A and B are shown apart, each in its own frame.
Chain A
Amino acid sequence: MTWLAQWLKHSLQEVQDYFLLLGKVGRGLVTRPFYARDVMEQFDAIGAGSLTVVLLTGTFTGMVLALNSGITLDKFGARSMVGQLVSASMVKELGPVLTALIVCGRVGSSIAAELGSMTVTDQISALRALGTDPVRKLVIPRVVAGTLMVPVLTVIADGVGLVGAWLIAVTQLKVPAAPFWNSVVNGLYIEDVWMGLIKPFFLGFVLVSIGCYVGLQTRGGTQGVGRSTTNAVVAGSVVILAVDFLLTKFLFMVMY
């Protein structure tokens, strides 16, 4: 019982500290100074740096979706509708979530490792001693870049996913290109597109801010940095899925 109470208290403390950091980020966004050059660097590191892995996961996801849907649809003799199934699940759900998870594994972990090693080697204290607010210098550029780049990467993943599905449709399922693309468009409602575009902003924000938070909380030398890297990915992935669920529920309520 005391163990449970301790754990609860500790968790609440962590959540509170995380929201305190978000508060500082909010204040830092509307007041000066703003380190624009660091934001640009992070656009490159988070956006361009994640492109290859997002292209690969997007393509394979589209391909496997087409294969699976093709087999399911055959039971109903509706194989030509494969585009519809693929586009709805890709754009609404898998594009945003898989992109966020992949970026979390790549970027969330490296942010936690970078800020974590800066914390344990006193570089964060050195920044403050030199008159720089680490939240403005390190956290805000990453959060801004992550929040804006994850949606861009998601759109790219959706795009290559559909191309991958098209390849499978034409070569394996023998569905010609024209009916495939027709069915892709038919399967997409404007609400789905909005849903697929809104979610990644939140997911990107969450995964980068968790990476930053975990990194800055690092204690205990090199070992601590290793722990933080793992924690950022585990916590980030779980929260991504939870936030995705809650957002989907919320958007269904307000849009559909």
Chain B
Amino acid sequence: MAAVIEFDRVTLAFDDQVVLRDVSFTLEEAHTKIVIGASGSGKSTILRLILGLLKPDSGAITINGERVDRLTEEELMRIRGGLGMVFQEGALFDSLTVRENVGYRLFEETSMPIPEVDARVQEVLGFVELAEFTDRMPSELSGGQRRRVAIARALTSKPRLLLYDEPTTGLDPITALTVDHEIIKLRDIEGVSAMLVTHQLRDAFYIATHEAVGQGSRLEFPVAAPAKADMTEFIMLKDGAVAFEGHADDLRHSDDPYLKAFLS
């Protein structure tokens, strides 16, 4: 199996605060890696490193075979084209409409004709079930709708790797579930690889243990078959290092006192 992301002994410090220390892991194609850990444990930092928004102090970060830690900002733009990022709180451009947000990359950075861009925008907005919100401003959306628009924006250029930063934090359980379903759909129906950062354990376990079956609007989300469940792994960050790596079951049955405290 090809590795989509590979971290090899990555270390990063801000001033004298070490955020990541010798962090290594591999994400395989079509797999999902869920990163959990307390606030400030460096989860978002990992996603920023993958995008090349930050550079590590040492170690190697390989995305689809390319060393992003060594690329210049201009070279990174090409890599980022194959990545979709859903930022914490969505990070929608608040001066642009939903349509302009979702189509941003195609409008601004490609020469794709406007009607084609609009068709793509409608397609991804349909995917997150917000097709009728095209002309709203982000300030006119609810928290859950903003997250789904952010997911749609990340999907516009058909990335094969998605990065989610706390996609359900701050949402009520019902709304969070709709976001979880989008994430499961993308993993099981579209087959995209993903890194999912969260400290919402309920959503993390739900995503890890359910699968999407069916098609179109007739999707169902039953408990995942073992082979499917194996494609989602957890990493737990603690004090800048990987404190646990494994599947949902291993995590639930771990004897480690810190893990137990974190999970309860």
Please report A residues at the B interface, Cβ cutoff 8 Å.
Answer: 33, 35, 118, 121-123, 125-133, 137
Q: Is B234 an interface residue (CB 8 A)?
A: no
Are B91 and A126 neighbours in the complex by a CB distance under 8 Å? yes
Complex Cα–Cα for A122 and B88 (A): 8
Cβ contacts under 8 Å, B109 to chain A: 33, 130-132
- Most B C-beta atoms less than 10 A away, residue of A33, A125, A133: A125
Q: Can you sample 7 A-B contacts with CB below 8 Å? A: A118-B93, A121-B94, A126-B87, A128-B51, A130-B109, A131-B105, A132-B109
Contact flag A123-B80 (CB < 8 Å), given A130-B104, A130-B105, A131-B109: no
Query: Which residues from 97 to 115 on chain B have a C-beta closer than 8 Å to any C-beta of chain A?
Result: 104-105, 108-109
Complex Cα–Cα for A195 and B156 (A): 52
B150 to A, closest residue via Cβ: A126
Contact flag A133-B73 (CB < 8 Å), given A123-B93, A126-B93: yes
Complex Cα–Cα for A125 and B45 (A): 12
Complex Cα–Cα for A123 and B93 (A): 6
How many of chain B's residues touch chain A, expressed as a range? 20 to 34
Cβ contacts under 8 Å, B73 to chain A: 128, 133
Q: Is B180 an interface residue (CB 8 A)?
A: no
Cβ contacts under 8 Å, A118 to chain B: 93
Complex Cα–Cα for A133 and B73 (A): 9
B77 to A, closest residue via Cβ: A131
Are A125 and B81 neighbours in the complex by a CB distance under 8 Å? no
Q: A129-B85, A131-B81 given; name 19 further pairs at CB < 8 Å.
A: A35-B108, A121-B89, A121-B94, A122-B88, A122-B89, A122-B91, A123-B93, A125-B53, A125-B87, A126-B91, A126-B93, A128-B53, A129-B51, A129-B53, A130-B108, A131-B77, A131-B105, A132-B108, A137-B108
B 25-56 binary contact with A (CB < 8 Å = 1; else 0): 00000000000000000000000100101000
Cβ contacts under 8 Å, A121 to chain B: 89, 91, 94
A131 to chain B, nearest CB (A): 5
A107 to chain B, nearest CB (A): 16
Complex Cα–Cα for A138 and B104 (A): 14
B143 to chain A, nearest CB (A): 14
Cβ contacts under 8 Å, A132 to chain B: 104, 108-109
Are B48 and A125 neighbours in the complex by a CB distance under 8 Å? yes
Complex Cα–Cα for A240 and B215 (A): 63
Are B94 and A129 neighbours in the complex by a CB distance under 8 Å? no
Complex Cα–Cα for A127 and B91 (A): 9
Cβ contacts under 8 Å, A122 to chain B: 87-89, 91
Are A123 and B94 neighbours in the complex by a CB distance under 8 Å? yes
A122 to B, closest residue via Cβ: B91
Nearest 10 interchain pairs by C-beta: A122-B91, A126-B91, A129-B85, A122-B87, A130-B105, A131-B77, A131-B109, A123-B91, A129-B51, A131-B80
A134 to chain B, nearest CB (A): 11
Complex Cα–Cα for A132 and B51 (A): 13
Contact flag A128-B93 (CB < 8 Å), given A122-B87, A122-B88: no
Cβ contacts under 8 Å, B85 to chain A: 126, 129
Complex Cα–Cα for A6 and B40 (A): 27
Complex Cα–Cα for A50 and B258 (A): 59
Q: Is B61 an interface residue (CB 8 A)?
A: no
A34 to chain B, nearest CB (A): 12
Complex Cα–Cα for A133 and B104 (A): 13
Q: Is B20 an interface residue (CB 8 A)?
A: no
Residue in B80, B88, B94, B104 whose CB lies within 8 Å of A128: B80
Q: Is B128 an interface residue (CB 8 A)?
A: no
B108 to A, closest residue via Cβ: A132
A24 to B, closest residue via Cβ: B73
Are A125 and B80 neighbours in the complex by a CB distance under 8 Å? no
Are A130 and B80 neighbours in the complex by a CB distance under 8 Å? yes
A71 to chain B, nearest CB (A): 50
Q: Is B83 an interface residue (CB 8 A)?
A: yes
Complex Cα–Cα for A128 and B85 (A): 11
Complex Cα–Cα for A131 and B93 (A): 14
B46 to chain A, nearest CB (A): 14
Complex Cα–Cα for A118 and B92 (A): 9
Complex Cα–Cα for A126 and B93 (A): 8
Complex Cα–Cα for A125 and B163 (A): 13
B79 to A, closest residue via Cβ: A131
